[in-house]
Structure 1
Amino acid sequence: MLGIDLGKNSCSLAGLDATGAVVIRRKMTREAVVAFAASLPSCVIAMEACCGAHFLGRAFAGQGHEVRLMSPEYVQPYVKAQKTDDRDAEAIAEAATRPTMRFVTLKSEAQLDLQVLHRARERLVLARTALINQLRAILLERGIIFPKGRIALMRRLDEVGLEGLAVSDRTRALVSDLRDECAVLDRRIKAYDEEFAALARNDPQARRLSSIPGVGVINATALLAAVGDGSAFARGRDLASWLGLTPRQHSTGGKTKMLGISKRGNRYLRKQLIHGARAAMPHLAAKPTRMGAWLREMLSRSHPNVVVVALAAKLARIVWALLRHERSFDQGAVLPA
């Protein structure tokens, strides 16, 4: 077992033998680590799932080694005494030997490329939202109240026209600049959306996931980039838990009380699934289907926000089932009961 504590320029190594005793302690550059691993017989190489781990993991896997990536929070309990790079490497190796340890699936270069595209798109969406909020605030300070929402605001701004705004010439020019910036961001975001749509059309798994109500192309490609074939999760419930969508529980006096969701795991995926569930819920709840009956029963006794999260968790479990069993979405869930 070889544990590697990754650094930007240098890495610390700790090698364990079959009894768990430390037999190697070294510090090397990243390039030297790859060369050193190539000289070793096939073994297990463990690392924390951090920046650069997937690239090195693919290099080690190509050399015939078994790669185990772990979340840093699962390694922390195995660090002894004061934290140092050598002790971190030893803790990584020891944590990887535990039979109940949860490992991160090694991502391919295609998955990482897809993940980068989603992060770039999200950055543009946040920038556009900031511009829209600034535009509304500038007009509100001058007594001009525009509706919420990007589409409604831009439509109203086009109806009124820049000349119809009771503001100074300089402010009018600023509003025009902000509107033009938003238009540029709209075009860039649309280009990413079209690229995701093209990727989904050519990928069988993405097509299957896109057919799920509330998932769509954006969520399907984001899920594939993050979880691959879903093999890292034993059950769909584990995937929902990883996304922080399952409720926490508290037991007292023999009674179990359901609390809020944990909000752990991948924040971007959780947000996207909740947005998708919120958009699909009114349509699904209005249909005489099995899922519609479930939603209506939930809405009769719970707040709509609670039901949205429950639907997002159900979507996550459906996603896992389709990925692991390579099946298409069962349209019976959205057909009349």
Structure 2
Amino acid sequence: MTMSQLWAGVDVGKEHHWVVVVDDTGAVKLSRKLVNDEQPIRALVAEIGAMAEQVSWAVDLTTVYASLLLTVLADAGKSVRYLAGRAVWQASGTYRGGEAKTDAKDARVIADQSRMRGTDLPVLHPHDDLVTELRMLTAHRADLVADRTRTINRLRQQLVAVCPALERAAQLTQDRGWVVLLSRYQRPKAIRQSGLSRITKTLTEAGVRNASTIAETAVTAAKTQTVRLPGEEVAAALVAELAQGVISLDDRIKATDADIEGRFRRHPLAEVITSMPGIGFRLGAEFLAAVGDPALIGSADQLASWAGLAPVPRDSGKRTGRLHTPQRYSRRLRRVMYMSALTAIRCDPHSQTYYQRKRDEGKRPIQATMCLARRRTNVLYALIRDNRTWQPHSPQITESAA
């Protein structure tokens, strides 16, 4: 017998999804583990479609793990609603018994919440290639930056085996010119023999801005050591190789930044997002990568909760008013808001004033910055909602604004 309507909830996973279908009373009609491959997904979509005249689909993730599922559902003409993972976690405590596996229970919660909330849940748009590309590129850039940090750490370790004084003097993370120098000169004897003038000329031709300062510092450090350390030849060769690796990573990061900026500028909200002080194209791209479709943001409070900037109570007995950071939130989104607040403190007078007020109230620097980040979620949400750019003299939005 074909039913009039069913609700399908999907707990998204990397290799497998779990799908649960419920009827209008919340009774489970189907509960199944699904391989994340096209043909099994198509087969199950067709099977569930034959069970009812109308099937409403809902998922808890919009990451790359859900890409194939969402694409197949869109290709089959199915609309999909989104229930945030935090909402699933909060609601799951009210469901008892039944499934032994957490995935199955979560899928049931998603399906049943979709049944009860209906059109209150936002509809996903799986064909937003731009946001998908930004997610890939920003994640790739983060990997490249992490690789660069690891490579510099290994470079420092090998440089100590050549000349400890040179390692102490080298500002590898602050000045790229030092990496260029170490790709050409590693041993103290070679630096002394080349001399200040030749090294300065070499660095200048390589495009290093403060070539003379770096050359002078390197020569001074090299003069403090006249002995040759054991294994110096191998260590010096490794330093040169690692320095070239850092230069290569810098070039790849620069190229990735260009790709990120090119795609971010094509987004209709790019100008709105970057109009906020402290948000450039990189943080703006990370923001879109974290939230996906900005239409999914229902309120400023929801955005703050999503970013882990809305403390939740931890009351017990007579102890009330105790707040703590929520356990589930988007660390990527939290980082965007926190880093943008740090930048705004340096470049925006309004943010500086607010931050200083919180410091005067006795809050520590990190706490004051988090307060500013929370306040900025209200402003950013309002700008996105109204599709307008930030103006320095626009009416201030209070923290309780929705």
Report the TM-score when normalising by structure 2.
0.69
Asked whether 1:299 is paired with 2:394, we answer no
- How many residues align structurally? 329
1:332 counterpart SS class: coil
Relative distance call for 1:214 and 1:140 in structure 2 (3 A) is farther
Partner of 1:143: 164
* Unpaired segments ≥5 residues, structure 1: none
Residue 266 of structure 1 corresponds to 330
Structure 2 residue matching 1:44: 3-state secondary structure? strand
- Does residue 32 (structure 1) correspond to residue 43 (structure 2)? The answer is yes
The DSSP-based 3-state class of the residue aligned with 2:81 is: strand
Corresponding residue number in structure 2 for 1:133: 153
Task: Summarize the Cα distance change of 1:262–1:129 in structure 2 as closer, same or farther, 3 Å threshold.
Answer: farther
Is 1:113 aligned to 2:133, yes or no?
yes
Q: 1:143 to 1:223 in 2, by over 3 A?
A: same
Separation in structure 1 between the aligned mates of residue 293 and residue 30 of structure 2, nearest angstrom: 35
Offset, 1:190: 0.7
1:129–1:46 CA distance, 2 compared to 1 (3 A): same
The match for 1:224 is 288
Give the counterpart of 2:54 among 42, 61, 64: 42
Superposed CA RMSD:
3.5
Which of 169, 172, 188 is the matching residue for 2:233? 169
Question: Larger C-alpha radius of gyration, 1 or 2?
Answer: 2
The one-letter code sitting in structure 2 at the alignment partner of 1:31 is: R
Match of 2:295, SS state, is coil
Counterpart in 2 of 1:68? 81
Name the structure 2 match of 1:94: 112
Query: Is residue 58–residue 82 contact of structure 2 (8 Å, CA) maintained in 1?
Result: yes
Say which SS state the counterpart of residue 140 (structure 2) adopts: helix
2:143 corresponds to: 123
CA contact (8 A) 1:206 1:224 kept: no
CA displacement at 1:92 relative to structure 2: 3.7
Q: Give percent identity, aligned residues only.
A: 26
Q: Report the Cα offset of residue 219 of structure 1.
A: 1.3
Mapped partners of 1:8, 1:329: distance in 2: 39
CA distance in 2 between counterparts of 1:158 and 1:13 reads 54
Deviates more, 1:206-215 or 1:89-98: 89-98
Structure 1 range deviating more: 83-92 or 319-328 = 83-92
Equivalent residue of 1:114, what SS? helix
Whether the 8 Å contact between 1:229 and 1:324 is mirrored in structure 2 is: no
Gaps of 5+ in 2: 1-6, 35-39, 192-221, 396-402
Shift of 1:19: 2.2
Residue 201 to residue 258, structure 1, CA distance change in 2 (3 Å): same
For residue 10 of structure 1, report the CA deviation from its aligned partner: 6.6
- Indicate how the Cα distance of structure 1 residues 85 and 241 shifts in structure 2: closer, same or farther if over 3 A, else same: closer
AA aligned opposite 1:242? W
When residues 195 and 7 of structure 1 are mapped into structure 2, their CA distance, relative to the original with a 3 A threshold, is: closer
Amino acid at match of 1:256: G
Q: 1:146 to 1:267 in 2, by over 3 A?
A: farther
Match for residue 80 of structure 1?
Answer: 98
Deviations 1:201-232 (A, max 9, x none): 33331122112111110111222233245332
